Amino acid sequence: MSTTVAIDTWVKRLADDERTRDAIRRQEDEAESRRADLVRRNGRRLIDELRAVVIRDVEAFRAEFPGDPSREVVVTASGPDGGFVVSKPARAAASLTVTPNLDAAAIVCHFRFMLSDGLPPREDRFDVTFAGDGDPLRLRHNGTGQVFATPEALSEVLLVPVLTGRGR
């Protein structure tokens, strides 16, 4: 003699909902794993490309103002992960420190603007994260959500405040 128990419809519905949630979690985990793999394989290269583009753009800006000491902008290496600092020491002094953290798939961008009226410097920080799980890896400004397809596109956002000495 066998006994079959009818399962209430709410139990089936709940089980189906849980299966759907499990599938979504698996997809999210797989996407995160693909993104982490892309960052491991391409993150340092992307940081190196960004630094090269920033150096190129700074040199192009300085070439527009030959002999003008107020437009002397310097890029120096900083840290083991390819970070760098962009400094404008003259009038309207400003700096940008770019600190990659490949383990966190992020780049910390720290602006510092020296004020001429004796007040403490004004500072601004935001993170740029590696976005997407496809190739190519993209960069996303966490404050605005803006996605940059290339290091060239990000260079303008990073350099304009330093080159002008004015934050955004």
Q: How confident is the model at residue 135 (pLDDT cuts 50, 70, 90)?
A: low
* CA–CA separation, 162 and 72 (whole Å): 11
pLDDT mean over 10-20: 93
pLDDT mean over 47-62: 93
Residue 145 is predicted with a pLDDT of 86
42 domain-assigned: yes
4 domain-assigned: no
**Cis amide prior to 136 (ω within 30 degrees):** yes
The reported pTM is: 0.75
Residue 3 is predicted with a pLDDT of 60
- Find the domain containing 147 and state its range: 9-164
2 domain-assigned: no
Backbone torsion region of residue 89, taken as left when φ is above 0, otherwise alpha when ψ lies between -120 and 50, otherwise beta:
alpha
Q: Are 101 and 129 in contact (CB under 8 A)?
A: no
1 domain-assigned: no
* Number of structural domains found in the chain: 1
* CA–CA separation, 105 and 133 (whole Å): 12
